[in-house]
Amino acid sequence: MVDNLTQPSDAAGPFDRLKALLPARLRGAPVVPVVRLSGVIGAVTPLRPGLTLAGVAKMLERAFSMRNAKAVALVINSPGGSPVQSRQIYLRIRQLATEKKLPVLVFVEDVAASGGYMIACAGDEIFCDPSSIVGSIGVVGGSFGLQDLIKKIGVERRLYTAGEHKAMLDPFLPENPDDVARLKKIQREIHALFISLVKQSRTTKLKGADDVLFTGEYWAGETAVTLGLADAIGDLRAVLRARFGDKVAMPVVAPAGGLLSGLLGRKAAGAGSLAAEGWGLSWSGLAEELISAAETRAIWARFGF
């Protein structure tokens, strides 16, 4: 693909005309690779994976390794999800930024909330639209109490466990106050980690009090800038051209496409890679993986961002 292709003029010499046909990054023009991070964070379903470190690691590595790169731009559009995957993606971005000595510019589209905002904090600067939704620095969990419903329709709950708290907060059992207290303790621990990461990343840029910023509330772009959660209002093209010139190339680093790449961790690279992604090779194992994914979703419904 040719980036920012310039048509050679009739007066140009052979070398100039050949150079004009090269991609911008090979002509010495400034390059800012663009990585789009969109969707719910975590393994949503086996056939529709969300944002995970395994799914975005190769894109990030390609972006930070691109020739003539002056910075890396991240376009984020995520309502959040898994705290673990959010933090792992954040850490990987910061590791690559330090290793390659490249600044990271984050551009929020519709939303960077909760885990999406955690990833946004990996940027040296955060830009957003006036209508972007930013923040939601908190931890949420929810369930249903269905024990009376199943009695009404004549369903008998049969549950067998080994471990006193293995069925903690089961929606078909009456709520246990001790289990709720355990859940809220875990949520407070995760929330404290989130707050620490935001403070470490945004440092003196934060302008709001803790009891405002870290309640789980979210704001539109202008207010987010006022509170120091974002740096400025701005869009990708305008900001990069103003900073690096009109000739800046903005190649989008895309993930591998196709059903198998999503199902098998982006590349069908053999049993070793599939095992690392947590997938088996046989169709007979798919049912077990579906059950496992459902259990994971149920757990993170209690502890997710």
The conformation of residue 7, written as its DSSP 8-state character, comes to P
Whether 93 and 122 have beta carbons less than 8 Å apart is answered as yes
Rounded to the nearest angstrom, the gap between the alpha carbon of residue 94 and the centroid of all alpha carbons in its chain is 13
Q: Is the pLDDT of residue 261 over 80?
A: no
Q: Which residues pair with 135 in a beta bridge?
A: 113, 218
The more confident residue out of 128 and 161 is: 128
Closest CA to 170 of 139, 146, 189: 146
Mean pLDDT of 182-202: 94
Whether 141 and 109 have beta carbons less than 8 Å apart is answered as no
Whether 279 and 43 have beta carbons less than 8 Å apart is answered as no
47-51, 173-177, 179-183, 189-193: range with highest mean pLDDT: 189-193
> CA 275 to CA 51: how far, in whole Å?
19
Q: What are phi and psi of 127, to 5 degrees?
A: -115, 150
pLDDT, tens only, 200-241 = 999 999 998 999 999 999 999 999 999 999 999 999 999 999
The residue annotated as part of the active site, out of 143, 151, 166, 247, is: 166
Q: Is the pLDDT of residue 112 over 80?
A: yes
261 part of the active site: no
User: Which of 37-46, 87-96, 252-261 has the least mean pLDDT?
Assistant: 252-261
Q: Is the pLDDT of residue 282 over 60?
A: no
> CA 130 to CA 110: how far, in whole Å?
10
- Write the DSSP string, 211-265: HHHTSS-EEEHHHHHHHTSSSEE--HHHHHHHHH-TT-B--B-PPPPSHHHHHTT
Whether 114 and 80 have beta carbons less than 8 Å apart is answered as yes
Q: Are strands 218-220 and 133-135 parallel, antiparallel or unpaired?
A: antiparallel
User: Which of 122-126, 159-163, 167-171, 269-273 has the least mean pLDDT?
Assistant: 269-273
Q: What are phi and psi of 126, to 5 degrees?
A: -120, 125
AA identity, residue 240: L
Q: Is the pLDDT of residue 290 over 70?
A: no
Q: Is the pLDDT of residue 126 over 60?
A: yes
Q: Is the pLDDT of residue 175 over 80?
A: yes
The residue annotated as part of the active site, out of 78, 82, 86, 114, is: 114
Q: For tokens 């908190």, what's the residue?
A: 138
Written as six digits, the tokens of 34 are 């663009």
pLDDT grade, residue 304 (50/70/90)?
low
Those residues with Cβ within 8 angstroms of residue 147's Cβ, 6 or more apart along the chain or in another chain: 157, 171, 172, 173, 174
User: Which of 92-96, 174-178, 300-304 has the least mean pLDDT?
Assistant: 300-304
pLDDT grade, residue 166 (50/70/90)?
confident
pLDDT, position 275: 32
Q: How many CB atoms lie within 10 A of CB 219?
A: 22
114 part of the active site: yes
Q: What b-and-e string marks burial along 139-168, b requiring 16 or more CB atoms within 10 Å of the CB?
A: bebeeeeeeeeeeeeeeeeeeeeeeeeeeb
Those residues with Cβ within 8 angstroms of residue 245's Cβ, 6 or more apart along the chain or in another chain: 30
Whether 10 and 49 have beta carbons less than 8 Å apart is answered as no
The conformation of residue 29, written as its DSSP 8-state character, comes to -
Mean pLDDT of 252-281: 47
pLDDT, position 247: 93
pLDDT grade, residue 52 (50/70/90)?
very high
